[in-house]
Structure 1
Amino acid sequence: MTELTVEADPAELGFDPGRLARIDHRLGRYVDEGLLPGWLAVVTRHGRIAHVARRGYRDVEAGLPVADDTRWRIFSMTKPVTSVAAMMLFERGEFALTDSIHHWLPEYADMRVFVKGSSTQPVTVPATEPIRVWHLLTHTAGLTYGFHYAHPVDALYREAGFDSSVPPGKDLAACSELWADLPLVFEPGTEWNYSVASDVLGRLVEVVSGQPLDEFFAEYILGPLGMTGTGFHVDPADHDRLAALYVPEPGTRRAVRNDAFGDAIRQRPDCLQGGAGLASTAADYHRFTQFLLRRGELDGARLLSPRTVGLMTRNHLPGDADLERFGRPLFAEMPFDGHGFGLGFSVLRDPVKARTLSSAGEFAWGGAASTAFWVDPAEQLTVLLFTQLLPSSTHPLREQLRQLVYQALL
């Protein structure tokens, strides 16, 4: 399915249609003011689409409007797909969540932890705790990202070629070995830090399954869920459906095109990044959110048990802490206050602390080009936002969309 249409009277699903229209008006102003190229939002309750809103262009320069079959780079919204893949292998009994990953990825057998110094003269000590599978799923492994620019180890990642991308010509196996050669920012399990953990998890999926990550995704997730427009690259036949990537112009914040970074998705990458590599359509990712809301099943295809999805969407931070208390105050795709982290998703612990109208138990994530999704089991609600503006911190799109969705829910 590529077409997204309203499937029920919003009032039957508990929404005020006039209030839902505020989504179109408020987010539409970003396009009118030149701050976004275009966007698409989908609101679904009880498995039926209540509202679809579209505005603007997938390619401003070519005059091509946003369409239901537009291919969007979803960047870190790849992470939940990789987490589902890993938990499918967990359900087969291939590993325990507490297993050390060095049993399959021997490069991680003797990790060291940065304790002081600089990127040019780091002082490290042997790690006392191995990296375990659940550390990768929860971003508590001690790994990092080069683009954080907050720690000497971040600089070491950049020196190794990992800033906003990966070194040319390196596949996932080679990248994993390079990450293992770098020190950890902290002892595994002691803090939360947004990182390449999902990419390492993707490599674990490859080794355990004996398949490249794209093949595993296609056979066991994308195919069964009917996500035919999702993959690690966009085929030439679909290049006209690919949204262009934009960045804010310094000073004005108007959206300007960035083909230098955006064109990478047009060909199969050397490194299949389980943390950031997929392009998808709104209809495809809508099916993925419905599979999650239905606790592991969609249209007769069961990928995970309900108990497994339940475990994935609970807060796994020690002491039921939130990210503000347990995480490093760096960039992530969701707020820290009132949010914990599960096995691949942020998890809302306390709506009051988070200053949000959402329900406790909501799980969510987003992507670097300002895409986002959330699933609210309490309200049987899913919401999707697609656009292509990098970075996602440019505008408060996600917070505003939450306000607009929940104020319409009666």
Structure 2
Amino acid sequence: MTQDLTVQTDPAEVGLDADRLQRLDRRLARWVDDGRLPGFLVTVARHGRLAHVGTYGHRHVEDGLPVTPDTRWRIYSMTKPVTSVAAMSLYEEGAFGLTDPISRWLPEFADTRVYVAGSDLKPVTEPLTEPIRVWHLLTHTSGLTYGFHRAHPVDAMYRAAGHEWGTPPGADAAEVCRQFASIPLVFQPGSEWNYGVSTDVLGRLVEVLAGKPLDEVFAERVFGPLGMHETSFGLRPDDDPALLARLYGAVPGRPGGPDTAMVPLDPMGAAALSKPAFLAGGSGLVSTAGDYLRFAEMLRAGGVGADGTRVLGSRTLAHMVRNHLPGDVDLETFGRPLFAETPLRGVGFGLGFSMVLDPARYGVVSSPGDYSWGGAASTSFHVDPVEDLTVTFYTQLLPSSTLPIRSYLRALTNQALL
């Protein structure tokens, strides 16, 4: 898979209808024309060959700067699969077992308490009956949460400690994890699924196991082998800040118009202009479409990069993209009914990815085993192993639940298959 988005194959050669692929671009472009999306870049690849690149709109609406192949995007939670892959590459070297308690390396989590009643100011807690294990971090069954959920008293405790859409200034991964460990869990580890800072803690575990900062681990185990030279924690000193897309937030629209509009979120967006103190395993990476496509294609190819370099064993990756929820149930059954970056019905969760278990229950034309994840600013990717298809999408609109982009991506790529 080339990193150069200008090198494309004839869609018909890989079983895609070029005219029908234009429907995808037109659907996405309507959101741009309505003022609900600043701009986008979408890629569709099949059998390891790039068949379609669609771009429209602006990376910076007010300055009239268009979306280009070298636009840099805040991929937020699309950092999580990278961290999971890096962790599992260590697993393949015998650095840990999936059922090992994380307190073996992060002792601050040995005495973490679990919320059972009360308020955020006066919580009633109990001791752990089951330690947080590495498997719990990878599957989001640890009991850790996010402050921005605003659905539980523990979420409020995160916000009070400075953890909502960021972390306390100057705190590194070691300090951030000490703070997480001091806040109660939402539930006993392994008893439920809840989207939270589990992958941030996993990133810190990776640092301890590897004996080096997370960005160096990524460079050594993922970015270097895959040739991902434009992906980093925030912009690097020699990067052109004009290439970084502006971050926007959705707000209520005007009467008679679309129900949402956009406003710039410059204070929040500015965090990506430089390398942060906290190298978060769950967010923080800035990337280009070409770079992340290399990562997604490595997943599709069973752990092998475009030049034949193996990042993960095929059996390891196959284990990661199967459903790990107990009893093979879906997220609606085992998860909490709150904001997440994937629908919950008909969807399972593995080691760093969600996957479609039942397309009919999911409610979107898709394949069983189609796996994916996305970011808070509405970026996403999915890999369809049945159709040997990889789709990636980039924009900068918070929150990711504003528009049903991910459902349309699946429906409109599947309808283009010959």
Partner Cα separation in structure 2 for residue 28 and residue 112 of structure 1 = 48
Listed as ranges, the matches of 1:377-388 within 5 Å are: 377-388=385-396
Q: Which AA in structure 2 matches 1:272?
A: L
The answer to whether the 8 Å contact 1:2/1:69 transfers is no
Q: Which AA in structure 2 matches 1:7?
A: Q
Partner of 2:249: 247
Gaps of 5+ in 2: 255-259
Partner of 2:93: 92
Partner of 2:257: none
Q: C-alpha offsets along residues 166-209 of structure 1, whole Å, 9 cap, x if unaligned?
A: 11111110000000001111110010000000000000000010
Q: Which AA in structure 2 matches 1:290?
A: E
Cα deviation for residue 220 of structure 1 reads: 1.5
Cα deviation for residue 372 of structure 1 reads: 0.4
CA 1:60–1:2 in 2, change beyond 3 Å: closer, same or farther? farther
Partner Cα separation in structure 2 for residue 6 and residue 340 of structure 1 = 35
Partner of 1:116: 117
TM value normalised by structure 2: 0.97
The residue matched to 1:302 in structure 2 has which SS? Answer: coil
Q: Which AA in structure 2 matches 1:99?
A: D
TM value normalised by structure 1: 0.98
Cα deviation for residue 164 of structure 1 reads: 1.1
Q: Which AA in structure 1 matches 2:33?
A: D
Cα deviation for residue 91 of structure 1 reads: 0.4
The answer to whether the 8 Å contact 1:6/1:52 transfers is no
Partner of 1:278: 285
Partner of 1:306: 314
Q: Which AA in structure 2 matches 1:360?
A: P
Cα deviation for residue 383 of structure 1 reads: 0.2
1:295 to 290, 302, 310: 302
The answer to whether the 8 Å contact 2:3/2:293 transfers is no
1:189 aligns with 2:197: no
Partner Cα separation in structure 2 for residue 266 and residue 331 of structure 1 = 27
Partner Cα separation in structure 2 for residue 384 and residue 278 of structure 1 = 16
Partner Cα separation in structure 2 for residue 338 and residue 5 of structure 1 = 36
Partner of 1:355: 363
Cα deviation for residue 250 of structure 1 reads: 2.8
- Between 1:231-240 and 1:349-358, the stretch displaced more is 231-240
Q: Which AA in structure 2 matches 1:371?
A: T
The residue matched to 1:297 in structure 2 has which SS? Answer: coil
The residue matched to 1:347 in structure 2 has which SS? Answer: strand
Partner Cα separation in structure 1 for residue 368 and residue 199 of structure 2 = 25
Q: Which AA in structure 2 matches 1:17?
A: A
The answer to whether the 8 Å contact 1:339/1:347 transfers is yes
Partner Cα separation in structure 1 for residue 263 and residue 161 of structure 2 = 29
Cα deviation for residue 6 of structure 1 reads: 5.3
The answer to whether the 8 Å contact 1:111/1:184 transfers is yes
Partner Cα separation in structure 2 for residue 337 and residue 154 of structure 1 = 24
1:336 aligns with 2:338: no
The residue matched to 2:393 in structure 1 has which SS? Answer: strand
Listed as ranges, the matches of 1:135-214 within 5 Å are: 135-214=136-215
1:407 to 388, 412, 415: 415
Partner Cα separation in structure 1 for residue 60 and residue 118 of structure 2 = 47
Partner of 1:24: 25
Cα deviation for residue 7 of structure 1 reads: 2.5
Cα deviation for residue 9 of structure 1 reads: 1.6
Listed as ranges, the matches of 1:55-94 within 5 Å are: 55-94=56-95
Cα deviation for residue 2 of structure 1 reads: 5.0
Q: Percent identity?
A: 61
Q: C-alpha offsets along residues 128-150 of structure 1, whole Å, 9 cap, x if unaligned?
A: 10000000000000000011111
Cα deviation for residue 24 of structure 1 reads: 1.4
For the aligned residue pairs, the C-alpha RMSD in angstroms reads: 1.0
